[in-house]
Structure 1
Amino acid sequence: MAKYTFPMPDIGEGITEAEIVNWYKKVGDRIEEDEEFVDMMTDKATMPLESPVTGTILEVAGEVGDMVAIGAPLIVVEVEGEVPDEAETADEDEAPAPKAPEVEKRIEVETPDASDQVDAAKAAPEPAPTPAPDPAVSSSKVLATPAVRKRAKELGIDLAQVKPHEDGRIRHADLDSFISYSGGYSGSAPARADEQIKVIGLRKRIAENMAAAKRNIPHFTYVEECDVTELENTRTQLNANKGDKPKLTMLPLLISAICKTLPDFPMINARFDDEAKVVTRHGSVHLGMATMTDNGLMVPVIRDAQAKNLWQLANEIGRLAEAARSGSAKSEELSGSTLTVTSLGPLGGVATTPVINRPEVAIIGPNRIVERPMFVTGPDGVERVEKRKLMNISISCDHRVVDGYDAAAFVQEVKKKIEAPATILAG
């Protein structure tokens, strides 16, 4: 028997260490050649690593959440037979770090800086329980993660009784709502005990970036009310004649209005290097789109948003949101944004104060659309009361780079375009 030491591979891109986010194997387990044994997260991606040998695991580098330097031992395996020529044994003093095997970059971890941001397509009304179970539907047919199924089993809850999100999947929040609306579920299982959850992986990155943004950036937020009645009418007309094009939400129209306004306000579409004290004003709009996923908040990026029409924007919004949620988004699709838009959709509230996606200098948050009576002057010059659709737009800016007047002027120009939809469609 020989011992084989598998070091943390050099994955390039200047990465010096990676975080252990999930062990598939433990000391004493048998491992097969090409079998995945750990997920490692860098500042760029989460990737699984595979064993080049078959044997029994003797040592592992640490626990979930620990950092491992490039080249440091990750696992030691007692190999059955001879160690492959390219493998290094544990008895050798120096083991050069091999290049990483061909692996799929599953989850990009450049994260936004506000836990209160979710994608409009993901948000849904607060779920309520189904009053009575459908005997034809069993828990096994319900869409839910293993963790949710385990918790439901512990609580004695039939998942068929729980109303899922609009995407059909049941999450922990849906279980909580079921219990709350049931006035305290009286299943056979005992009350759920307190639990401690270690903050690791993407959640750890979000926490670090949020703290860094609030610590380093002097935020200010400006909110303006916009009349989106005509914009909604325009959207309805476009959707009625869309053919095989994707259905338009409010977001493509808002993004188009933003992109048409930014050339006159270059300091909004910028990134600030704190250390070098250099602001880079970008000509192209690489728009970050805050998206809530099962793994945490992510920001897929619409490249050159200013060059896309409404239908192209709608396609990209749908494609990137799905890629982020499924974990299939590529590294370049989840980094390099110059400005971020975040929306809570139907949960948007009256106003939000989003936290900037550092090193950007601004973030824009449309809020919920509401209907209210308003005084409107008609073409005949007569003032009358009409029911109008209104939406607040919030913008948070880095006060080191963006002055309050500039932020207000920018939003006022976006408002003009929103309230006159022809200006969005022109050009």
Structure 2
Amino acid sequence: MGKYLIITAANSTTGNELYFQDLTRSSTPIIPIVNNMDNTHYVVDHAGGDFFIFTNLGAPNNKLVKTSVSKFAPSNWVDLIPETDNVLDISKAGGKFFASYLKDAISEVRQFDYQGNEERVIELPGVGTAGGFSGKNDAEYVYYSFTSYINPSSSYRYDIASGASMLYNAPKIQFDPSQYESNQVFYTSKDGTRVPMIITHKKGLELNGKNPTILYGYGGFGVSLTPSFSIANTVWLENGGVYAVPNLRGGGEYGENWHLAGTKMNKQNVFDDFIAAGEYLIEKGYTSSDYLALRGGSNGGLLVGAVMTQRPDLAKVAFPAVGVLDMLRYHQFTAGAGWAYDYGTADDSEEMYRYLKGYSPLHNLRPAAYPATLVTTADHDDRVVPAHSFKFAATLQDAHQGNNPVLIRIETNAGHGAGKPTAMQIAEIADIFAFGLYAMGVGY
């Protein structure tokens, strides 16, 4: 039986309260460690009368602190692994802490002892995303995964004492990573902000402006888009396509300040970052407006909807998937009220109402020639109700003045996306790619 009970409480996507109870004594009270939801905290481990707490209190990029059982108040916290310029995540195994940093959206992992001394930088298999490094306190080995846009996720065994890694398991797929390249670039957004983007394609790509390109984005809720392998994307790449992913404000790639720079009345920054990414790809010759497709889902569907209404000339194709497209009423449906921390609501103030209405995709459709658009949703989506997509598609079809096709694809007996059977996923991505290539006039 455990000695201590740790309780977390939250009512939004960001921030939580933290409570503690000593189970070694009867009838002990539940003591608040943090009794507000302004920041995020969780207990990583306990040893020798000390608790180790991961937090972003006073540290937007996160840090690990130490405090004793008798002195839980944040004023008594002592930094064990301080905040740096790179976003921190923490795990533990074998009596060690593993500090996983996001360095320009790419993984860097460092090993620390419980006194906060750095022991080594872990040599990863390449430039990409590493995850795991979690296990029991008496473990001699720990397992982690590594992936990138051109490397399928593989498992590695790491020797905690020596620091050596060995490949443990790799999937057997018909894809040769050596024929492709995945490079990180940096571009400048409208207000001068430096934004990273990873561009993946076949080696020897000709920068002639005619390469079919998917620009994928999210930009919200502190979610970091880090390199990951996708079988579906390999089909696009194998057919000469370019796949580009910018790390927009609103995400968590550079910590809480980066997140907040894309929320509420800063939300336009996210759209500006995405537009600037598209302009960069066009300027450098990767693609042109006639061969560019915008893609994103959920909050990313909002992103695509906003950008295609603000800049209908930017791309040839738009794929807003399960999107939040009615920004005036989103909080009145299912889980919508929980997104207010990022978006604000039309009920907050007249100023917030006007700001939301100013970019709400549904409310900014005007008579114009829009990109070829395939809206995708599902009839049982209880996170972002399909009414968003229904209303947007109908209004877009009414406002659209060009020759590009505007369609909606409604999956039946499916939800927001998680848990879709493989056959359903294949059918959907086949329709998306076929629609995009047809609209671009590309045949295979």
Q: Per chain length, whose mean CA-contact separation is higher, i.e. which structure has more relative contact order (CA < 8 Å, sep 6+)? A: 1
Q: TM-score, normalised by structure 2?
A: 0.26
